Structure 1
Amino acid sequence: MEKKIVFPEDFWWGSAWSAEQSEGTGDTGKAETIWKRWFSEEPNRFYDRIGPDVTTDHFNRYKDDIRLMKETGHNSFRLSLSWARLFPDGGRGEINRKAVDFYRDLMSEMIKNDIKPFINLYHFDMPMKLQELGGWASRETVEAYVNYAVSCFKEFGDLGYHWFTSNEPLGPILGTYLEDFHYPNFIDFKEGAQAAFYTILAHAKAIKEFKKLNLKSKIGVILNLSPTYPRSSNKWDTEAAETADAFYTRSFLDPMVKGTFNKKLVSILKEYDQMPDYTEEDLKIISENTAQILGLNYYEPRRVKARLTAVNKNSPFLPEWFFELHNMPGKRMNIYRGWEIYEKGIYDLCMDIKENYGNIESFISENGMGVADEERFLGENGQIIDEYRINYIKDHLAYLYKAVNEGCNIKGYHLWTFIDCWSWINAYKNRYGLVSLDLATQKRTIKKSGEFFKKMTEENGFLYDTDKLV
């Protein structure tokens, strides 16, 4: 039966993107990032050979873009700051005043339009000067990051509504050290474990410094989390799922929110000689400085089964030594991304946070649908008629509403993304935005989903057939 779903008052409605994917280079003296370097070395690995120089040109168009945020119903927006723009030397020298002015102007414009700035400090865009020192696998990067973070707290503390130490810290570890989709593309689990540990340590050290400043805002982290489902109730399948969950979910969630490390994961890493280096002081800092707020990025579930074949011990150590992915028959797919669409996963994720992580204040910090060749859905007035995105949003929000009604401390929903943005090696292959982008002219046009989003946020909800919920 169709009924009106209404979210709590002051619910955060908005979207998110990153500096590297939206700003373009600009004219503030931004230094080289790992993406700029990789594109210069291997442009063939980027879809249509489109690199990060221009992207959505937000640097030059932010005032018009903020107007579009308002027109699509935003009351909040998660941006990221460019480390390489603010500290062209990597974070060990003086801050770039031109970059400070740019970000202050941008966030002030957001606030003038009643849009809360959610500030994320790191979103995959390692300054190349720090990558040359080892990137996240180096303690020098940790100290440079803390200096960068403290400088940002002081420069923008009066403007930020909430702060986040990083977005999807698992992503660079998988991409750089396990799966070959982040520069410089090592395949080395142990070095990846070191980089992961130092990322967690940097998060804790930044929070420690943040607390000294007594700002009105909170600080946390944005994690990409997929509920892990075993193929069956067979004990070998459930054990495989628990192991996969330890690697991909608890690896960052436990230390960043609880201040402790997952025992199952630590046991495996010790057994296979994959433990990172650390000190007791490091562990103390991590235990005492945990997230005050948590962003949940949800796109798809993870389905796992017991391995059916033996592991080649002469191959690099990888999590897949302990499980295989399960291709569940009958699953519904977003064929453009190769991702399963499973709305109930957002509910299961929120319930996990409620039951196992103290019901920490949280919000959906990313959720969305990338679709290729959206020009197929162009209406007569030049608007993309993306009913599929509207249905995707409604179906996920219906399960989020169920979670909120059952006591989950969820305060908002941010879509990925606002305007079609550059998507790493996929560039503009898939489009995610509420607003379409013409690459040739940079013209922005609000999609049908953008109109829906505006109406939904004005009413704080929408009509929905709740009989579809299970």
Structure 2
Amino acid sequence: MREESRRICGKGESIWDKLTHDHPESIKDETNGDVACNSYHLYEEDVRLLKDLGVHFYRFSISWPRILPTGHVNLVNQAGIDYYNKLIDELIANGIEPMVTMYHWDLPQPLQNLGGWTNPLIANYFEDYSRVLYTNFGDRVKWWNTINEPKSVVLGYSIPIGFAPNVVTYGHGEYQVIHTILLSHARAYRVYEREFKETQKGKVSIVSVCNWIEPKTDSKEDLEAAERTRQMHIGWILHPIYSKTGDYPPIMKEWLAKKCKEEGYNRSRLPSFTKEEVEMVKGTWDFLGLNHYTTVFVSESLQHFPLFMDCDVGVEQDKSYPTASSIWLQVIPWGFRKILNWIAKEYDNPPVLIAENGFSDRGDLNDTDRISYFVNYLRELLKALNQDGCDIFGYTAWSLMDNFEWASGYTETFGLYHVDFSDPDRRRTAKKSAEVFSEIVKRNEIPARFLTEKSSL
């Protein structure tokens, strides 16, 4: 199936293809994404589902190796261009705005063979790739996300948890990966600004995962630790792009310089931008794409679970909050309002698109927990919007349908629609949450039966 699929569609091998085929044991259920939802062949049916939901736009990702099988522009796969053209045209014909993410973690394997995101040259190749996308699709696509969740990309360079490319370079590779990603994003933004924006008039940004970081206690130590962690993990991505000064957060640079000196290094493990690079990266946004799922509690006294690298804090879940099928996803709606306010304060209230927000279960059709999650998180979004003055202009539920969830395979599902992965036709079935979400979209308010009083979106 693998080789036959490539022969038909011309797609090159990605880092996820290589990991799941060479090391199936890396994935919880030893599955892969060869077919997954089969949207490549069922895109017309999927657009019908979107139209039934009544959504205004559809955020989807383009596969780099489907467009450029080797990662380089000297070989363009016309079958890939044709597929995305058909999807984009089908969306527009049904009154749905296409929103494209250029990179959602599937790096072409030939580029990984050159070092992947630890190689600064990838920024050049990403700029080339972005130009191909703008040229072929920019006449109709007006909303672009360059890279989805840079912080998730570094998981593949951190610890062996079944996340491609699974190259463990803990404490070193992660910083180089983010550095290259930020330069890649900036190059893609600047090339649009120079060559396409005047005629195509679109918007370009990046999407960062921003879960709220809450201090475990009100002690001075924990309050400082929580803010340090926010700066070093949320600000790690956002500060170079959205702050007035650019560059990495000052506390991050100072903390790591001191820590690395104590560890015996001659220089910080955090790479440095040149003055020209600081200016190139700074301001490369037309909006802020935010993925939010949960809240985590940190404390300096909790050293046993160092989720946040180099912050010298530990993480602990509060068992009073329910947990989704994904063990990392606790349902803590008030954290949504807090992160939106923190971003508004930290970066002068940029316009925010919620690019992902969702809940995982085991595929239940009567998914009342997912409905509760959406309703309660949307209530907090409305408080941030209407009471706090946060600039929020769009919301995207993750996800349209159940899919291949990376290291978890098909054991955790986020979809509004159930997909029968044992069926060759990948039959889609609406869950109860699809009905409720459609009602929210079409009425532009949370249904009154879920609230004491209506909340308008």
TM-score w.r.t. structure 2 length? Answer: 0.89
Structure 2 residues not aligned, in runs of 5+:
261-267
Equivalent position of 2:270 in the other structure: 275
User: Which amino acid in structure 2 is aligned with residue 439 of structure 1?
Assistant: F
Partner of 2:179: 197
- Counterpart selection for 1:460 from 429, 444, 456: 444
Closer/same/farther in 2, CA of residues 388 and 343 from structure 1, 3 Å limit: same
Change (3 A) 1:262 1:321: closer
Shift of 1:296: 1.1
CA distance in 1, matches of 2:398, 2:143: 18
The equivalent residue for 2:427 is 443
After the TM superposition, which residues 233-382 of structure 1 pair with which residues of structure 2 at under 5 Å, given as runs?
Answer: 233-258=218-243, 259-271=246-258, 272=260, 273-276=268-271, 278-287=273-282, 289-307=283-301, 319=309, 322-372=312-362, 374=363, 377=364
Q: Which secondary structure does the structure 1 equivalent of 2:241 belong to?
A: helix
CA distance in 1, matches of 2:327, 2:123: 33
**Match status 1:105 vs 2:86:** yes
Structure 1 unaligned blocks of 5 or more:
1-23, 378-383
Superposition deviation, residue 38 in structure 1:
0.6
Quote how far apart the aligned CAs of 1:151 are: 1.3
- How far apart are 1:102 and its partner, in Å? 0.9
Task: Give the 3 Å change call, closer, same or farther, for CA 342–310 of structure 1 in structure 2.
Answer: closer
1:417 to 399, 409, 412: 399
CA contact (8 A) 2:232 2:311 kept: no
Structure 2 counterparts to residues 124-273 of structure 1, below 5 A = 124-178=105-159, 180-182=161-163, 183-212=165-194, 213-214=196-197, 215-258=200-243, 259-271=246-258, 272=260, 273=268
Tell whether the 8 Å contact from 2:302 to 2:316 is kept in structure 1 after alignment.
Answer: no
SS of the aligned residue for 1:319 comes to coil
In structure 1, which of residues 115, 118, 125 is the aligned counterpart of residue 96 of structure 2?
Answer: 115
Give the Å deviation of 1:424. 0.8
CA RMSD of aligned residues (A): 2.3
**Alignment-derived partner of residue 21 in structure 2:** 40
CA contact under 8 A between 1:178 and 1:189: conserved in structure 2?
A: no
Shift of 1:451: 1.3
Equivalent of residue 48 in structure 2, options 67, 76, 81: 67
Partner amino acid, structure 2, of 1:396: Y
Distance in 1, matches of 2:25 and 2:454, equals: 44
CA distance in 2, matches of 1:216, 1:302: 39
Amino acid at match of 2:186: A
Q: Structure 1 pair 309/457, CA: closer, same or farther in 2 (3 Å)?
A: closer
Q: Which runs of 4+ in 1 moved over 6 A?
A: none
Question: Partner of 2:169: helix, strand, or coil?
Answer: coil
Measured in 1, the distance between the counterparts of 2:333 and 2:454 equals: 11
Q: Report the alpha carbon displacement of residue 27 of structure 1 after superposing the two structures with TM.
A: 2.9
Shift of 1:239: 2.1
Q: 1:435, 1:450 within 8 Å by CA — same for their partners in 2?
A: yes
Q: What fraction of aligned residue pairs are identical, expressed as a percent?
A: 28
| CA distance in structure 1 between the partners assigned to 2:358 and 2:332 by the alignment | 12
Shift of 1:327: 3.0
For residues 223 and 170 of structure 1, the distance between their equivalents in structure 2, rounded to whole angstroms, comes to 7
Secondary structure (helix, strand or coil) at the match of 1:420 reads coil
C-alpha distance after superposition, 1:310-336 (max 9, x if no partner): 99xxxx997256111133352332254
Shift of 1:338: 3.8
Cα contact 2:69–2:75 (8 A) shared by 1: no
SS class of match (1:232): coil
Match of 1:56 among 11, 20, 37: 37
SS in 1 for 2:173: helix
Alignment of 1:426 with 2:408, yes or no, is yes
Conserved? CA contact 1:77–1:118, under 8 Å: yes
Aligned equivalents of 1:206 and 1:466: distance in 2? 46
2:135 maps to a residue whose letter is K
Residues 309 and 195 of structure 1: is their aligned pair in 2 closer, same or farther, counting only changes over 3 Å? Answer: closer
Structure 1 residues 80, 396: closer, same or farther in 2, change over 3 A? same
Amino acid at match of 2:356: E
One-letter amino acid of the structure 2 residue matched with residue 227 of structure 1: W
Distance 1:27 1:145 in 2: 25
Deviation string 1:231-252 (CA, Å, 9 cap, x unpaired) is: 1121111222122212221100
Aligned match of 2:77: 96
What is the alpha-carbon distance in structure 2 between the residues aligned to residue 318 and residue 413 of structure 1?
A: 27
